[in-house]
Amino acid sequence: MKTYPQNSNDSLLVINQKTAKKVQVNNVVLLKGDTNYTVFYFEYGRAKIVAHSIKYYQEFLEKHGFLRIHRSYMINPKFVVDYDKIEDSLTMVNGHKASIARRRRHKFGFN
């Protein structure tokens, strides 16, 4: 995976090697995994499907503050709007809901 450091806190992440599609890490709200595909959801409602699993991006994104809350979800905590204790899910800025795994709840203080 190629990454490009910037002068500011924004880093660029190449999500597609063939087209050299780059995204700013700070604009990514949520990653949703579906077997060997990952859907990147961005701040302004766009989405991009990539043929890699979340695990491929996990180590890099954790360095930028992302949290793996479920086998299928990785979130950027600065875009969390609400926590639903009944459903154990987080609502993100763009309206998507991400469920929190039972075994990971205690790590993030959601008891």
What is d(CA 65, CA 46) in angstroms, rounded to the nearest whole number?
A: 21
Number of domains in the chain: 1
Q: pLDDT at position 14, please?
A: 66
- Give which of 57, 63, 60, 67 is closest to 16, Cα–Cα: 57
Q: Which domain, by its residues, includes 19? A: 3-78
- CA diameter of the chain: 43
Residues 57/28, Cβ–Cβ less than 8 Å: no
What is d(CA 55, CA 73) in angstroms, rounded to the nearest whole number?
A: 10
Q: What is the pTM of this model?
A: 0.82
Q: Does a structural domain hold residue 49?
A: yes
Q: Does a structural domain hold residue 37?
A: yes
CATH number for the domain spanning 9: value is 2.40.50.1020
pLDDT digits (tens, 9 = 90+) for 55-64: 998 998 999 9
Q: Does a structural domain hold residue 38?
A: yes
Q: Does a structural domain hold residue 110?
A: no
pLDDT digits (tens, 9 = 90+) for 16-49: 666 667 788 889 999 999 989 999 999 888 998 9
Q: What is the mean pLDDT of the chain?
A: 84
What is d(CA 70, CA 105) in angstroms, rounded to the nearest whole number?
A: 9
